[in-house]
Chains A and B, each alone.
Chain A
Amino acid sequence: DAGVTQSPTHLIKTRGQQVTLRCSPISGHKSVSWYQQVLGQGPQFIFQYYEKEERGRGNFPDRFSARQFPNYSSELNVNALLLGDSALYLCASSRDRETDTQYFGPGTRLTVL
């Protein structure tokens, strides 16, 4: 089975722009979570979606938003980009919410200039 896939792999944006990152979960997985990881730190939880509903949110500003589609894929949107948004954005999927064993995709490296 294919693992979690993310696109694009790398992205360069300038301050003030908007970006959309995409994630496809493992087949059969209904839950998708998004994380931001800056160098030298652990992943920071942004959102969790389960069955197309937001079930969890980390301490990120409203510039960050996400959604999950009927096929369980997901998009993360970040508006009004700041230099500090430069990071590796990770998507993880799990079969359901309660088991919560998450499997990570390869990530999208976002650079904001």
Chain B
Amino acid sequence: QKEVEQNSGPLSVPEGAIASLNCTYSDRGSQSFFWYRQYSGKSPELIMFIYSNGDKEDGRFTAQLNKASQYVSLLIRDSQPSDSATYLCAVILIPTGTYKYIFGTGTRLKVLA
């Protein structure tokens, strides 16, 4: 089982719709959760992070964390063609005092104009 799993997509949504991106993780010791956006040929850029159960909103983006079910999701409201990119979920593990920052393979989002 992969430590962080995402559906590779592509996920296609019409402009103005809500895009829902999901991520599951295997280690209950996971402490911090991040969503990054990566355009083709570019490096990842941070969208938002979430540490506690529940929802966290930032503009058009909402991150949701459910530690009991071990999933984290990202909602993008009023999706725009410029949101078309790969969305990476990342999780921090600190097993035995060491540090690992684990990324999923990413979900490719296409917003159709």
Contacts and interface: CB of A to CB of B under 8 A. Distances in A.
Query: Interface residue tally of chain B, by bracket?
Result: 20 to 34
Given A55-B99, A101-B34, A43 B44 contact: yes
A43 B105 contact: no
A103 B46 contact: yes
Interface string A54-87: 0111100000000000000000000000000000
A93 to B, nearest CB: 12
B24 to A, nearest CB: 14
Contact of A56 (B32, B45, B100): B100
B88 A42 contact: yes
Query: Interface residue tally of chain A, by bracket?
Result: 20 to 34
Contacts of B99: 48, 55-56, 97
B101 A104 contact: no
Interface of B: 4, 32, 34, 36, 42-46, 49, 88, 90, 92, 98-106
What 8 A-B pairs come out closest when comparing CB atoms? Answer: A56-B99, A42-B103, A104-B43, A42-B105, A43-B103, A55-B99, A45-B101, A104-B44
